[in-house]
Amino acid sequence: ANDGYKLWLQYLPFENKAVADYYRDYLENITLIGESPTHGVIRKELEIAIDSFLEGKTKSNISSKNINSGLIWIAGTVDLPQNIKASLAERIKEIKEEGYLIKYFQGKIFVTANSDIGLLYGTFALLKNIQTRKSLEDLDILENPKIQLRLLNHWDNLNRTVERGYAGFSIWNWHRLPGHIDQQYIDYARANASIGINGTSVTNVNANALVLTPEYLEKAAALADVFRPYGIKIYLTARFNAPMMLDSLPTADPLDPLVQAWWMKKAKEIYSYIPDFGGFLVKADSEGQPGPHNYGRTQADGANTLADAVKPFGGIVMWRAFVYNEKTPTDRIKQAYDEFKPLDGKFRDNVIVQVKNGPLDFQPREPFHPLFGAMPNTPLMMEFQITKEYLGQETHWVNLSTSWKEILQSDTYAKGHGSTVSKVLDGSLHNYQLTGMAGVSNIGTDRNWTGHHTGQADWYAFGKLAWNPESNIDGITEDWLKMTFTLDPSFVNAAKKIALNSYETLVNYMTPLGLHHIMARSHHWGPGPWVTGGGRDDWTATYYHKASKDSIGFDRTEKGSNAIGQYAQEWNTVWGNPETIPMEYLLWFHRIPWNKKLSTGNTLWDEMALRYQKGVEGARWMQKEWTKLEGKIDQERFDHISSFLNIQVKEAEWWRDACLLYFGQFSKMALPAGVENPK
Ligand code: GCU
């Protein structure tokens, strides 16, 4: 049995004697030089791993001195023996702050780095190579992260509910902190460090100012102490009107000297509890949150006031671009660009603007956000959503790295062909001095952390892509499967195929052809294309699909809202024309008559119906393929995933039936051959 708590750090026992003998030689002869808390963590991780790989048959004996006998050497560059250091000098020069080198050399494996954290990352990388049973004599790996800030964002409330969380309650037990340190905090830090995550914002973006009071800062400091040896900094969400809420200031105007002084003092106080506090994450002027607009100020005014406060202590501000207002009549997806683009270059150098992957809100599929490539003088970071708010929530198996990769590879054309979103994020395109990627966490108190076992893969892949957005997702998925379940290639290959097909399948049964925001109201689970009214157009489905008896879709071309005008000319040309736009974005940008013949040869209605059907068939295929894998992994996780796949198939049918019945009232066309009649 396996409840999945150990994530990808299962350290699966060696499958036979030959494999065990091969690695045992190395694992019994490790030299680890250094004494920092991070070295303590490295030693502990090695012990856990060795104990598990060799099923407790070897007591690990990690030496901190025995210089000559070590077959695996884990030591900072300064601690390497002189002759080794001299021989590897060229490679060592390439190692940056958090990077590492793993090199097989003269019969030994050297793991080395310039920092303790680099050494920890290198150790996890070595363990990964053993977990995936790589030959150690080939090791020659030099890795440096491409992105500086690699963060999880928890939308966790102080009462332990999790906004858009589907895996239980918040793992942060504020009530027991700081007195009790739960083992889960430590395992959380291990898991994150193993994939290179170096920061976490632990509270909801819809922020409660209370977290900035001494009572909570003491608790947050206890978490920071746990995370520190793992190279993880803590960040907090700052409620913009905290000066009013906590200290009854008459205003939160960011240009008011009293307000500025308040933030300065608050920052000083926070740093007295947490000397390496990372900084603030802020949602302002959006969905009811207070912000600089309340005082006629700009987003830059707001961000800069907070940035000035944390600057003396080395802190940063991540200011979210998810700003929109129902009172602004402009197409909602245009508002962030309209607001932020004119502020390019107006932010302090310790501000980074955090932009969602697409211009709406974590839909199953959106084109990339037009701000990417449009702010050369203000660093932008990515915000992906790991939790599956609009993607069926935790019971659907959807491999999110497929969709993230699509966004990361999108070409902004900001500096001509090849100006991908990845290159915006890694800073190379605009020479950003701050770079980052955040993922809205999908974890909670569920025994397996993420509800669906495969939700762990999304957490894992997020870390890997934050480290290097160019990473190959086929490899990421395969490694994750091997480390999490089994090395049996018949399982790994089949499960990988299911995973890599899952994203397109979900898009087909939920929002094919560029449809968006047609989920049920407020909780966003299940179909709701009929949702209308309710006081706020931009939270309704009909605002987005605009189905009528003739057509469907949102005209965002020049003749419509001209959201398309926020993209490069190259995209205007391709996306602006319904004949050349990729089908995936058709109804995102265009209004199309139901009976229009598409390039596929089908009418729009037939194409839509066939795609919904294909989505359902895709879900059934996933289920069928999964069934064949019974016996290849433990029954507990096999059954868990099976039952979720049953739910997924049912909900895929529900989506298809609901959407086709609803839209059919407008098209009044018959279902094409091959599409099942709604039940
Ligand atoms: C979505 C989500 C909200 C969240 C918001 C945000 O709208 O439904 O729960 O607060 O995004 O990202 O701020």
pLDDT > 90? residue 54: yes
- Measured in Å, residue 393 CA sits from the centre of ligand 1 at 14
- Indicate the average pLDDT of the chain: 97
Residue 221 has pLDDT above 70, yes or no: yes
Give 551's strand partners.
593
- Nearest residue to 279 (alpha-carbon basis) of 255, 256, 309, 258: 309
What spacing in Å lies between the alpha carbon of 383 and ligand 1's midpoint?
12
**How many other CB atoms are found less than 10 A from the CB of residue 472?**
12
Calpha distance 584→273 (Å, rounded):
49
When pLDDT is averaged across residues 638-665 and rounded to a whole number, the result is: 98
Quote the ligand 1 centre to 362 CA distance (angstroms).
9
Residue 63 has pLDDT above 90, yes or no: no
Q: How far apart are CA 379 and CA 350, in angstroms?
A: 9
- Name the token pair of 475: 């490899």
Task: Please check the confidence at residue 59 and state whether its pLDDT lies above 80.
Answer: no
**Amino acid at position 476, single letter:** I
Q: Helix, strand, or coil here: 66? A: coil
Distance, CA 238 to ligand 1 centroid (Å)? 16
Q: Return the exposure string of 27-65: e unless at least 16 CB atoms fall within 10 Å of the residue's CB, then b.
A: bbbbbbbbeeebbebbbebbebbbbbbbeeeeebebeee
- d(C-alpha 299, C-alpha 489), whole Å: 52
The reported pLDDT for the residue numbered 533 is 85
User: Which H or E element spans position 115?
Assistant: none
Instruction: Name the residue of 156, 164, 239, 319 whose CB sits within 8 Å of the most ligand 1 atoms, as the mutation to test its pocket.
Output: 164
Write the residue with the smallest CA distance to atom 1 of ligand 1. Answer: 361
| Nearest atom of ligand 1 to the alpha carbon of 163 | 9
Ligand 1 atom 10 nearest Cα: 206
Tell me which CATH homologous superfamily contains domain 17-143.
Answer: Chitobiase/beta-hexosaminidase domain 2-like (3.30.379.10)
List, as own/partner pairs, every contact residues 78-85 make where C-beta atoms lie below 8 angstroms and the sequence separation is at least 24, other chains included: 79/33, 79/34, 80/110, 80/112, 84/110
Question: Residue 284: what pLDDT?
Answer: 98
Nearest-atom number in ligand 1 for the CA of 205 is 13
Ligand 1 atom nearest to 383, measured from its CA = 12
What's the rounded Cα separation, in Å, for the pair 399 and 454? 8
Task: Say whether domain 507-554+591-667 belongs to CATH 3.40.50.2000.
Answer: no
CA of 286, closest atom in ligand 1? 13
Among candidate residues 45, 361, 607, 651, the one labeled active-site is: 361
Provide the 8-state DSSP code for 177.
T
First to last CA, the chain: 38
pLDDT > 90 fraction of the chain, expressed in percent and rounded? 96
User: From the CA of 399, how far away is ligand 1's center (Å)?
Assistant: 21
Count CA atoms closer than 13 A to 201's CA, side-chain side. Answer: 28
Q: Which ligand 1 atom minimizes the distance to the CA of 204?
A: 10
CB 548 within 8 A of CB 667: no
Selection from 60, 62, 42, 61 nearest residue 50 by Cα: 60
Strand order in the sheet with 100-105: 30-32, 72-74, 108-112, 100-105, 140-143
- The answer to whether residues 393 and 166 touch, using CB atoms and an 8 Å cutoff, is yes
> Band of the pLDDT at 326, cuts 50, 70, 90?
confident
Predicted confidence (pLDDT) at residue 311 exceeds the cutoff of 70: yes
List, in sequence order, every residue forming a beta bridge with 109; answer none if it has no partner: 72, 104
Choosing from 98, 285, 389, 458, the catalytic residue is: 389
Question: CB–CB of 395/651 below 8 Å?
Answer: yes
Residue 66 confidence (pLDDT) above 70: no
Q: E-strand spans in 376-498?
A: 380-385, 436-440
Angle at 412 between CA 408 and CA 418, to 5 degrees: 80
Tell me the ipTM for this assembly.
0.99
445 C-alpha vs ligand 1 centroid, how far in Å? 21
Close Cβ partners of 572 (under 8 Å, ≥ 6 residues apart):
564, 565
486 C-alpha vs ligand 1 centroid, how far in Å? 36
Share of the chain above pLDDT 70, in %: 100
* Residue 641 tokens, joined: 């995933």
Mean pLDDT of 19-46: 96
Task: Give the pLDDT band of residue 252 (cuts 50, 70, 90).
Answer: very high
- Ligand 1 atom at shortest distance from the alpha carbon of 440: 12
| pLDDT computed for residue 535 by the predictor | 82
CA distance 69 to 608: 66
Q: How far is the CA of 166 from the centre of ligand 1 (A)?
A: 14
- Burial (CB < 10 A; 0-12, 13-18, 19+), residue 219, is buried
Give mean pLDDT, residues 239-253.
98
Question: Is 470 in the active site?
Answer: no
* DSSP-based three-state secondary structure for 618: helix
- The pocket around ligand 1, CB under 6 angstroms, is made up of 163-164, 205-206, 283, 287, 322, 361, 389
> Rounded to the nearest whole angstrom, what is the distance from the C-alpha of residue 386 to the centroid of ligand 1?
13
- What separation in angstroms does the CA of 611 have from each of 121, 367, 606, 619, 647? 43, 19, 8, 12, 20
The confidence score (pLDDT) of residue 64 equals: 85
Tell which one of 205, 281, 287 to mutate to probe ligand 1, the residue whose CB is within 8 A of the most ligand atoms. Answer: 287
**Options 287, 344, 538, 636, the catalytic residue:** 287
Ligand 1 centroid to residue 180 C-alpha, Å: 31
Atom number of ligand 1 nearest to Cα 283: 13
Is 55 annotated as catalytic? no
Q: Is the C-alpha dihedral spanning 244, 249, 250, 252 positive or negative? A: negative
Confidence band (pLDDT; 50, 70, 90) for 679? confident
Of 361, 441, 531, the one to substitute when testing ligand 1's pocket (max ligand atoms within 8 A of C-beta) is 361
- In CATH, the number for domain 152-473 is 3.20.20.80
Nearest CA to ligand 1 atom 12: 322
Work out the number of other CB atoms within 10 angstroms of the CB of residue 654.
Answer: 16
Separation between Cα atoms, residue 461 and residue 469, nearest integer Å: 10
Beta carbons within 8 Å of 647's beta carbon, 6+ residues apart:
395, 396
Determine the residue of 285, 322, 324, 325 to mutate for testing ligand 1's pocket, defined as the one with the most ligand atoms within 8 A of the Cβ atom.
322
pLDDT at 58: 76
* Probe residue for ligand 1, chosen from 389, 391, 523 as the CB with the greatest number of ligand atoms within 8 Å: 389
The backbone torsions φ and ψ at residue 411, rounded to the nearest 5 degrees and listed phi first, read -95, 120
pLDDT band at 67 (very low <50, low <70, confident <90, very high): low
Say which range, 48-62, 73-87, 407-421, 589-603, has the weakest mean pLDDT.
48-62
Segment 440-461 shows an average pLDDT of 98
* Whole-angstrom distance, CA of residue 163 vs CA of residue 208: 13
For residue 206, the ligand 1 atom closest to its alpha carbon is 10
Q: Are strands 72-74 and 108-112 parallel, antiparallel or unpaired?
A: parallel
Domain residue ranges in the chain: 17-143, 152-473, 507-554+591-667
Is 636 one of the annotated active-site residues of the chain?
Answer: no
